[in-house]
Structure 1
Amino acid sequence: MGRLMTPSREGGTMPAGGKPTVRSRRLGEALRKHRLTAGLDQSHAAEALVSSVAKVSRMESGKVTSRPLDVRMLLDLYQVHDPDERDRLESLARESNRRGWWLDYKGVGENYATYIELESDATHIVTWQLGLIPGLLQTPAFATEMHNANPTIVPAANRDEFLKVRQARQKRITDGSVRFTAIMWEPAVLAPMGSQDVHREQLRHLIEIATLPNVTLQILPLASGNAARVAGPFTGMSFGSDPTLEAVSFEAFTNVVVVESQEELTGYAYALETLRSAAWSPDTSLDFVRKVLRGLPHHVSEEEEE
């Protein structure tokens, strides 16, 4: 079920219990930053909206959903003229309480739903993996092998639903609606992936995805062990035209943790720069994956030789 919504006394809606949604919280934080950049306080915003300081405070905390008209008025007040930023924030206002498609699937817990909501809004996604193919690049067969390796992570009753959600999430990459960068350590490509057929299919899929114009694939060579130790696996996201990290997530066994504090984001941004610099170029990385595929024991097709 989606969150129940209740009317706000000063217009708009708020989540039952006053708990911010992911989008309303991000919108509120963006409005607060723009207000501070403009050198204004909440009383100036309240005057522009012909409202109260209390409402502005609830908007900035995400406890009340801002209406697109209110957002436009505040952005005018704060002299935010960038059309992309205005469109982004007005879109957040329109969609703050929209029910996500992922909530129709069983087994999507609150934390996972929060992560998918962030991912669905991201304009740039970058992921670093040590020994695995990133989830958004996994074939169904490889994902099944992963689940079989530890069947306690996803209950058998929810496994098919989990795979369907994963495939639905991957569509944003294949339809070009997000910029996606994957950095993997060499063992992630070399390590056996169940059967030879699964390994072969996964590498072919990796090659196919890596040739998309919105996808960048980089392989960190095994010898660059010092760079590989800069951080454990994580995924970073940004939500505007600027690819600067705005959120980072990492997975525990049955949970997804999202961090957004500037101090932590600075550390992950440093890790990404270290990894990008030490990894092979996209062209060299793609050649490496092709070489590994050709080295697998099977009949080589003309397509794979290219």
Structure 2
Amino acid sequence: MPAGGRPTVRSRRLGSALKRLREAAGVDQSVAAQAILRSVTKVSRLESGQVSASALEVRTLLDCFGVQDEDERRRLEELARASNQRGWWLDYQETLRPDYADHITLESDSTYIRSWEPSLIPGLLQTPEYAESVISSGPSFIPPERIAQLVKVRQERQRRIEEGGVHFTAIIWEPAVSALRHDPAVRDGQLRRLLDAGQHQNVTVQILPAAASKTAGMSGAFVAFSFGIEPNVEAVAVRTAAHTTVVEAPEDLAAYVNVFDQLRSAALSAEESAERIRQTLGGAPDQMEEAT
């Protein structure tokens, strides 16, 4: 059983990949079950993510399916090993909702992350002060001690960005940045954080002008994840006021890729975005709107 006693995003990703490869090879579940000396029920539960496969079972199944690609084999074997590993976020499991833990797992495994935020600064770029302000003003009451833990979680999530372990592209609608003028206690620190982040080679920050409201209205906030050498989107986390949903169906992923491409095309370049942020930091409250 995956860690935590329920299907995890890792076990689901592994199961989905094995099912895709099995079907592409024209192998039925009974043959796969014989290859790993397990029951058809076990194979079915493995493909649905209800149970995890060992690295040896994955290797045997890939042989059975005729998969020769060494990068693919290595990636799936590593995913099998990771399925039951304990992530740092489990230290906060009494504080985190299961869907939030899934989101962090996706971040932890990703090689590329693309974020679209129409109303907030992305969590991976938030200062502690901004994070506390956002969390405390949410739709549900959160005790102060839990707010402090959630702020720590955000800071811990940012380590992969700071260490260069993942390529991160953030597109932020301009009103989310200009709204910082109304919160001077956190404004300067958060704006400097955006500028500093944009200096890292693995981070791109782009502002979508306020005037591009039609483009901004194409979708609510979402984060797209890639897990291999190539930046192919393999999962998307869609945030609502109540929870986060992970999208994995190919046709749905294609739609989000299309939306992100349109957002990126309409956004200012990284250099222009940095200049727009500096204008706000410099205390010119009306320049952002006038320059759109």
Root mean square deviation, CA, Å: 2.3
Match of 1:23?
10
1-structure distance, mates of 2:64, 2:80: 17
Match of 1:129?
117
Q: Offset at 1:197?
A: 4.8
Q: Deviations over 1:54-78 (max 9, x none)?
A: 3322221222221111111222333
* In the alignment, structure 1 residue 85 sits paired with structure 2 residue 67: no
* In the alignment, structure 1 residue 287 sits paired with structure 2 residue 289: no
Matched residue of 2:67: which SS? Answer: coil
**Closer, same or farther in 2 for the Cα pair 1:151/1:284, shift >3 Å?**
same
* In the alignment, structure 1 residue 145 sits paired with structure 2 residue 139: no
1-structure distance, mates of 2:243, 2:271: 34
Matched residue of 1:235: which SS? Answer: strand
Q: Offset at 1:251?
A: 2.6
Match of 2:171?
183
* In the alignment, structure 1 residue 32 sits paired with structure 2 residue 36: no
Q: Offset at 1:254?
A: 4.2
Match of 2:153?
165
Q: TM-score, normalised by structure 2?
A: 0.88
2-structure distance, mates of 1:151, 1:267: 29
Matched-pair contact (CA < 8 Å) for 1:45–1:56: yes
Matched residue of 1:295: which SS? Answer: coil
* In the alignment, structure 1 residue 237 sits paired with structure 2 residue 216: no
Give unmatched runs, 5+ long, in structure 2: 286-292
Q: Deviations over 1:173-211 (max 9, x none)?
A: 111111111001112222225543521111111111111
* In the alignment, structure 1 residue 222 sits paired with structure 2 residue 227: no
Aligned residues between the structures: 284
Match of 1:42?
29
* Bigger mean CA offset, 74-83 vs 228-237: 74-83
2-structure distance, mates of 1:184, 1:41: 46
Given candidates 144, 162, 172, the residue that maps to 1:174 is: 162
Matched residue of 1:231: which SS? Answer: coil
* In the alignment, structure 1 residue 116 sits paired with structure 2 residue 134: no
Matched-pair contact (CA < 8 Å) for 1:142–1:193: no
Code of the aligned partner of 1:124: Y
2-structure distance, mates of 1:149, 1:16: 32
* Bigger mean CA offset, 85-94 vs 201-210: 85-94
Match of 1:9?
none
Matched-pair contact (CA < 8 Å) for 1:20–1:64: yes
Match of 2:240?
252
Q: Offset at 1:274?
A: 1.0
Code of the aligned partner of 2:265: S
Match of 1:8?
none
Give unmatched runs, 5+ long, in structure 1: 1-13, 298-306
Q: Offset at 1:231?
A: 0.7
Match of 1:103?
90
Q: TM-score, normalised by structure 1?
A: 0.84
Q: Deviations over 1:114-144 (max 9, x none)?
A: 2222222122211111122111111001112
